[in-house]
Chain A
Amino acid sequence: MISFLSHLVNGISLGSVYAIIALGYSMVYGIAKMLNFAHGDVIMVGAYITFCATQYWGLPPVVSVLAAMLVCTVLGVVIERLAYKPLRAATSLAVLITAIGMSYFLQNAAQLIWGANPKSFPSVITLPTLSLMGGQLLISGETMVTVLANVIIMIVLTIFTSKTKMGRAMRAVSEDKGAAELMGINVNATISLTFAIGSALAAVAGVLLCSAYPALMPTTGSMPGIKAFTAAVFGGIGSIPGALVGGLLLGVIEILGKAYISMELGDAFVFAVLIIVLLVKPTGLLGKKVHEKV
């Protein structure tokens, strides 16, 4: 029982990271109608920046994370401007391939700068471990911060999209780009803003991920990126609560699967979930039905 609870806690922690990454996929998909497969690698860049800031430049953890968020925000906007914006009118396949190319570019650039050897990422979280049930159930500081960060991000984003003018503009653009433009909404600026938010969140996810799993290398972001994409599809791509639900469920499924069924097949469960969801409910758990105009 205790071990189940402990796995559950780990699953929620991992799921929270997936949820934060999934938000980036989901928001960008909602607005630009494209899958930004370079998103996972922005996570890796965020983690490297934090690593450099704490290890080489001696910055305090909070400042390091903020620096990583800033760098990733700029990176996200630049990627969009240079790689995706020129393809706004191109087929979705062209954009998809460009995104995959961008993903490899970031991985190789990181390898060039930081080398291929894994770096041991020092946890930036200094919270003590919480001991429950007489020391049988341990909840690490990393877990608590991750879950808390996830909750705060979800609340802030929900308020942002529903109650501010930029949030409303984002929703309008995601529904009908042309009509939004004719009402005076600057579509390019709105898309840039979405990439900026998604990339800043990716930096946070990178720090949280590497604090829990401290081996940092150029490919660190790709697997969590793909899994978070699965989570976004699972929950319903384009939906903020969908990213939360999908991320949490996927994290729990992965950890429980690894713990009780097979360690080696853990990742396979994640993708089995994706296949089942696509077969049974292609729009995802909370996804909206796409209605064709007649």
Chain B
Amino acid sequence: MTQIKRKSDTKMVPVPSMAIVPERDIDKAPVLEARHLGIEFGGLKAVDDFNIIIGKTEIAGLIGPNGAGKTTVFNLLTKVYQPTTGTVLINGKDTHGMNTVQANKAGIARTFQNIRLFNNMTVEENVRIGLHNQVKYGMFSGILRAPSYWKQEKKQHEKSLDLLSIFDMQDMADVKAGSLPYGAQRRLEIVRALATNPSLLLLDEPAAGMNPHETEELMENIIKIRDQFQIAVLLIEHDMNLVMGICEGICVLNYGRIIAKGTADEIQQNPVVIEAYLGKQKEA
């Protein structure tokens, strides 16, 4: 044996161990991987050392008391904020230095806690904004209404109605988004996000303001969307019926840090979670 001359001085750091993904996704590359993600606002660590792996077709939940940093995590994942530490990989691709538009193109789409539809545009136009990057025709063929324009417009129109049919909303295509009832607005936001052809859909409190019947329907639809589009879903939600009912992997956040990760059963029995979160359920 010859003497070893070189020695690597690479510093080794632990990567998120104990990550769980659904068994069916074990052979597929995870859709999202966040490593040591953190952000500070003027010295305050809003999110610190956030690690998560989401499987290709997983429905995952992100829960925690108010102000725990859940929406901040969404803003980090979608590049609304640039993280102070850590990395986000979407489909294995490092999103470092990406802006919001590029993160969307990389495969991440979201809805908002306080609905942000384009209220003065119709339902169909809202969906078409989501389809924007999949439409290819130049500005001049648009103004001159060239054949390519008509062809693409027709295709877009059909695709919009197709997407709207997930929630049986085709009939509302020409209604102004702002005049829709609350539940329908939330559903339209999901359709608009889906239109951007994501591989990971982030839902920020999708059931907020919905009655139990609507929530039940929403749960079925989230599963339907996952099955039909073969995408992953990460949702923030306070409705425990919804979270425990459909989320496969659940991540609990408190004061910007993950305090527990696991399946619904594990989370419900975790004493730290019960103390931090479920014990305060009355407030939620």
Taking beta carbons and an 8 Å cutoff, which residues of A are in contact with B?
156, 159-160, 163-169, 171-172, 175-176, 178-187, 193, 288, 293
Within the complex, the shortest CB–CB distance from B193 to chain A, in Å, comes to: 7
Does the CB pair B129–A182 fall under 8 Å? no
Does the CB pair B128–A168 fall under 8 Å? yes
B112 at the interface (CB under 8 A from A): yes
Q: B104-143 interface mask toward A, CB cutoff 8 Å, 1 = contact, 0 = none?
A: 1100011010101111110001001110110101010011
Q: B192-207 interface mask toward A, CB cutoff 8 Å, 1 = contact, 0 = none?
A: 1101100000000000
B80 at the interface (CB under 8 A from A): yes
Give the chain B neighbours of A185 by CB distance below 8 A: 101, 129, 132
Known pairs A182-B100, A185-B101; A166 contacts B139 (CB<8 A): yes
The residue on A at minimum CB distance from B133 is: A184
B78 at the interface (CB under 8 A from A): yes
Taking beta carbons and an 8 Å cutoff, which residues of B are in contact with A?
78, 80, 99-101, 104-105, 109-110, 112, 114, 116-121, 125, 128-130, 132-133, 135, 137, 139, 142-143, 149, 153, 156, 192-193, 195-196
Question: Top 7 nearest A-B pairs by Cβ distance?
Answer: A164-B142, A184-B104, A179-B116, A181-B100, A175-B118, A172-B129, A184-B133
The residue on B at minimum CB distance from A176 is: B116
Give the chain A neighbours of B193 by CB distance below 8 A: 183
Within the complex, the shortest CB–CB distance from B178 to chain A, in Å, comes to: 9
Q: Can you list 22 pairs linking A and B with CB atoms under 8 Å apart? A: A156-B143, A163-B142, A163-B153, A164-B142, A167-B142, A168-B128, A168-B132, A171-B121, A172-B121, A175-B119, A175-B120, A176-B118, A182-B100, A182-B104, A182-B109, A183-B109, A183-B129, A184-B101, A184-B104, A184-B133, A184-B196, A193-B139
Known pairs A160-B143, A178-B80; A184 contacts B130 (CB<8 A): yes
The residue on A at minimum CB distance from B143 is: A160
The residue on B at minimum CB distance from A160 is: B143
Does the CB pair B101–A179 fall under 8 Å? no
A193 to B142, CA, bound (A): 14
Does the CB pair A183–B132 fall under 8 Å? yes
A sample of 17 more A-B contacts (CB under 8 A), given A179-B117, A182-B104, is A156-B143, A165-B137, A167-B142, A168-B121, A168-B128, A168-B129, A172-B118, A172-B121, A175-B118, A175-B120, A179-B116, A180-B118, A182-B100, A183-B130, A185-B101, A185-B129, A193-B139
CB contact between A183 and one of B114, B139, B142, B192 (< 8 Å): that residue: B192
Within the complex, the shortest CB–CB distance from B28 to chain A, in Å, comes to: 24
Does the CB pair A293–B114 fall under 8 Å? yes
Within the complex, the shortest CB–CB distance from B283 to chain A, in Å, comes to: 22
Does the CB pair B129–A186 fall under 8 Å? no
In the complex, the number of residue pairs spanning A and B with C-beta atoms less than 8 Å apart equals 81
Give the chain A neighbours of B99 by CB distance below 8 A: 181
Known pairs A156-B143, A165-B142, A175-B119; A182 contacts B110 (CB<8 A): yes
Give the chain A neighbours of B139 by CB distance below 8 A: 164, 166, 193
CB contact between A171 and one of B78, B117, B120 (< 8 Å): that residue: B120
CB contact between A160 and one of B100, B128, B142 (< 8 Å): that residue: B142
Give the chain A neighbours of B105 by CB distance below 8 A: 184
Within the complex, the shortest CB–CB distance from B237 to chain A, in Å, comes to: 19
The residue on B at minimum CB distance from A196 is: B139
Does the CB pair B142–A180 fall under 8 Å? no
Does the CB pair B80–A183 fall under 8 Å? no
A185 to B133, CA, bound (A): 7
A193 to B140, CA, bound (A): 12
Does the CB pair B143–A164 fall under 8 Å? yes
The residue on A at minimum CB distance from B189 is: A179
Within the complex, the shortest CB–CB distance from A185 to chain B, in Å, comes to: 6
A181 to B104, CA, bound (A): 9
A168 to B152, CA, bound (A): 14
Give the chain B neighbours of A293 by CB distance below 8 A: 114
Does the CB pair B118–A179 fall under 8 Å? yes
The residue on B at minimum CB distance from A189 is: B101
Instruction: Indicate the member of B99, B114, B132, B137 with the most A CB atoms within 10 Å.
Output: B132
Give the chain B neighbours of A187 by CB distance below 8 A: 101
The residue on B at minimum CB distance from A175 is: B118
Give the chain A neighbours of B104 by CB distance below 8 A: 181-184
Does the CB pair A171–B149 fall under 8 Å? no
A171 to B129, CA, bound (A): 10
Within the complex, the shortest CB–CB distance from B3 to chain A, in Å, comes to: 56
The residue on A at minimum CB distance from B128 is: A168
Give the chain B neighbours of A166 by CB distance below 8 A: 139, 142
Does the CB pair A175–B121 fall under 8 Å? yes
A166 to B140, CA, bound (A): 11
CB contact between A181 and one of B101, B114, B137, B195 (< 8 Å): that residue: B101
Give the chain A neighbours of B195 by CB distance below 8 A: 183
Give the chain B neighbours of A172 by CB distance below 8 A: 118, 121, 129
Within the complex, the shortest CB–CB distance from A144 to chain B, in Å, comes to: 24
The residue on B at minimum CB distance from A165 is: B135
A140 to B232, CA, bound (A): 66
